[in-house]
Amino acid sequence: MDINISSWESFVLKKIAASANDLQVECYAIGGFVRDKILDRNTKDLDIVCLGDGIELAHHVAQKFNPIPSVSFFKNFGTAQIKIIDKEGKPFEIEFVGARKESYVATSRKPSIELGNLQDDQNRRDFTINALAISLNSTNYGKLIDPFNGQLDLSKGVLKTPLDPNITFSDDPLRMLRAIRFATQLHFTIALDTFTAIKENAQRITIVSKERITDELNKIMMTPKPSIGWDLLSNSGILDIIFPQMMALHGAEFVDGLGHKDNFYHTLQVLDNICDTTQNLWLRWAALLHDIGKPPTKRFEEGHGFTFHGHEVVGAKMVPKIFNQLKLPLGDQMKFVQKLVLLHLRPISLTKENITDSAIRRLLFDAGNDIDELMLLCNADITSKNKFKVQRYLQNFALVKQKMITVEEKDKIRNWQPPINGNIIMETFGIGQVALVGLIKDAIRDAILDGEIENNYEAAFNLMVKKGVELGLAVK
């Protein structure tokens, strides 16, 4: 297999090689950079291992660039990093470390480290495809060093650990998630003995911080087909430990010939569908969580079948708890996902009835600036295997979209601001009661959304006066 190193990357490697030669230390490019160059994938970072002081090498290499980059280093770990700008103007990170070997204790994934040689360093790598190294030494510059047949595994699309997978995963359980993430990103297969070891060590994931777990989940979410990763997480037993609410979606059930689809695999299909249309991580999370409220709302009604009434409301209430559980951000991103989970049935329900302007205005008002993302989610949620049913849904959905455009052009509801605010109401009636002000504002809003009055100041002011009189208020 060829190693597809660009001229710019070769330029950088030769500067590092020159520095290593100046310091009389052995030096190798290793890990993901080598893997990706063989796979002809773009890279934004480079790992360098040397048989010596990685921090000293980093400082020496930095001096060979203009402008000279700053060196970030961590003495306790013997690592250093510099950031340079590549030929396209993008940041490129180079990390330096001295070759080392590691030993672990059962209660922690943080190893004890001691100096080692190249073989020790390759032994500690997570997968054979990440243990590949390229020599930067003058005696054999450019030679590929592959002690575990990682190049063969790359050609076969297989993930294996260099050493006993049970030891590899028990030592650092995060590697189990990395295996699943790499399998998803690269469309690789996890070798049978390696996946068996993941299942046998699944419980070890509890010693990994939630932040590191979620970082891997987000990387899976940003792949072209994240269903691969979520299915592997489920089959490995890890998902039941880190995200039991997701596992609860599993299973199709039938009673008296009446059943429901497997909501786990439906969810994965919706997730893959949305990934065809967006790189928005949080819209992808909304797709993953859109039916999360179905297990607790599941009921069987005689003669009718299974129902999930109110699952969107229950699901929306579950979103903050799940985000907190997974250490996802609890600000605007969570609120966005929560809103879409709550509203995801609304556009679809409009396809089943005569579409009124009032219903469209309500939808536009409730969705606000997130209406486009909501419509993408609803499109992705159409997963029936019945082609005629799907076609009918899509045709009706197109009518809803056209109606939305028409109503929005006329009523400007999407970024709606009330024509009458609370200050005007208080000044008009000389009141300060918050409850009465709220009642009048709600009456104006509902009248506009229901099409009873025009969305303008004059119509809203007249209704305000009328409503105030009904409440026993007098205009000052």
Q: Are residues 55 and 195 in the same domain?
A: no
In the block, tokens 């249309």 appear at 277
In the block, tokens 């047949």 appear at 149
Domain that holds residue 123: 1-156
| β-pair partners for 205 | none
- Check residue 258 and give its pLDDT: 66
Q: What is the CATH number of the domain that holds 101?
A: 3.30.460.10
- Check residue 256 and give its pLDDT: 64
476, part of any domain? no
Q: Are residues 255 and 403 in the same domain?
A: yes
CA distance 27 to 21: 9
446, part of any domain? yes
Q: Are residues 151 and 252 in the same domain?
A: no
417, part of any domain? no
333, part of any domain? yes
| β-pair partners for 185 | none
CA distance 162 to 169: 11
Q: Are residues 81 and 173 in the same domain?
A: no
Q: Dump strand ranges (E) for 225-308.
A: 254-255, 258-259, 299-301, 305-307
Count the neighbouring beta carbons within 10 Å of the beta carbon of residue 314: 18
Who contacts 166 (Cβ-Cβ below 8 Å, separation ≥6)?
197, 200, 201
- Check residue 413 and give its pLDDT: 77
Give the end of a domain, one of 240, 264, 299: 240
pLDDT in tens, the chain (476 residues): 678 999 999 999 999 999 999 999 999 999 999 999 999 999 999 999 999 999 999 999 999 999 999 999 988 778 999 999 998 899 999 999 999 877 667 777 776 677 889 999 999 999 999 999 999 999 999 999 999 999 999 999 999 999 999 999 999 999 999 999 999 999 999 999 999 999 999 999 999 999 999 999 999 999 999 999 999 999 999 999 999 999 999 987 777 666 678 999 999 999 999 999 999 999 999 999 999 999 999 988 887 788 889 999 999 999 999 999 999 999 999 999 999 999 999 988 887 667 788 888 888 889 989 999 999 999 999 887 777 777 877 787 888 888 888 888 887 777 777 888 888 999 898 888 778 888 998 899 889 888 888 888 999 999 999 988 888 888 87
Q: Are residues 134 and 172 in the same domain?
A: no
Say if CB 299 and CB 306 are below 8 A apart. yes
CA distance 243 to 228: 16
Question: What are the φ and ψ backbone dihedral angles of 238, each rounded to 5 degrees?
Answer: -70, -40
Q: Give burial (CB, 10 Å; 0-12/13-18/19+) of 377.
A: buried
Give the end of a domain, one of 156, 180, 205: 156
In the block, tokens 């295996």 appear at 179
96, part of any domain? yes
Q: Are residues 349 and 217 in the same domain?
A: no
Which tokens is 4 given? 């597809």
Q: Are residues 164 and 141 in the same domain?
A: no
Q: Are residues 35 and 168 in the same domain?
A: no
- Check residue 408 and give its pLDDT: 83
Nearest to 234 by CA among 215, 249, 224, 221: 249
Who contacts 189 (Cβ-Cβ below 8 Å, separation ≥6)?
157, 158, 159, 183
CA distance 160 to 228: 18
Give the end of a domain, one of 130, 156, 182: 156
CA distance 297 to 306: 10
- Check residue 343 and give its pLDDT: 96
Which tokens is 214 given? 């979620």
Q: Are residues 89 and 198 in the same domain?
A: no
Q: What is the CATH number of the domain that holds 207?
A: 1.10.110.30
DSSP state of 202: G
| β-pair partners for 50 | 27, 98
Q: Are residues 292 and 359 in the same domain?
A: yes
Q: Are residues 195 and 326 in the same domain?
A: no
- Check residue 56 and give its pLDDT: 95
Q: Are residues 136 and 33 in the same domain?
A: yes
Q: Give burial (CB, 10 Å; 0-12/13-18/19+) of 82.
A: buried
152, part of any domain? yes
416, part of any domain? no
Count the neighbouring beta carbons within 10 Å of the beta carbon of residue 435: 6
475, part of any domain? no
Which tokens is 400 given? 């809803």
Q: How many domains does the chain have?
A: 4
